[in-house]
């Protein structure tokens, strides 16, 4: 599917429409282009993607650079969020392991655990 979609760029009419509307289109499709260029398993898709990136880079280098910087910033933010999530899970696992070793309930707050049970 990706390969067929990228073949649309071989159509002069489509290419001209996209060039005319690049300020709207490029920020939307840039992340997908960048991921395809870096990580797509199909070499033909990677090659076609690089051709499309080059078209944008040639017709509007400033816009291309803006989109690249934004993509890199977004990637860095995603990586930071991922690292925080992993650290949180690690802390939770450590707490759960400590509680399990002491036979203390894991999901009950200390206040609840110290109250005498009724009933």
In this structure, the chain runs to a length of: 119
Query: pLDDT per residue over 18-44, tens digit each?
Result: 889 999 999 999 999 999 999 999 999
Report whether 26 contacts 56 (CB < 8 A): yes
3-class SS of residue 21? coil
Provide the 8-state DSSP code for 119: -
Interatomic CA distance for residues 47 and 28, integer angstroms: 20
Per-residue pLDDT of 49-86, as tens digits, reads 999 999 999 999 999 999 999 999 999 999 999 999 99
């Amino acid at each position: 599917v990706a390969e067929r979609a990228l073949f649309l760029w071989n159509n002069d009419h489509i290419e001209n429409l996209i060039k005319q509307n690049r300020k709207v289109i490029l920020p939307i499709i840039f992340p997908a282009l960048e991921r395809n260029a870096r990580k797509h398993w199909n070499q033909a898709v990677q090659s076609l993607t690089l051709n499309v990136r080059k078209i944008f880079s040639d017709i509007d280098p400033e816009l291309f650079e803006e989109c690249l910087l934004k993509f890199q910033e977004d990637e860095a933010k995603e990586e930071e969020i991922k690292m925080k999530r992993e650290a949180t899970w690690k802390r939770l696992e450590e707490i759960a392991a400590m509680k399990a070793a002491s036979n203390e309930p894991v999901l009950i707050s200390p206040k609840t655990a110290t109250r005498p049970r009724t009933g």
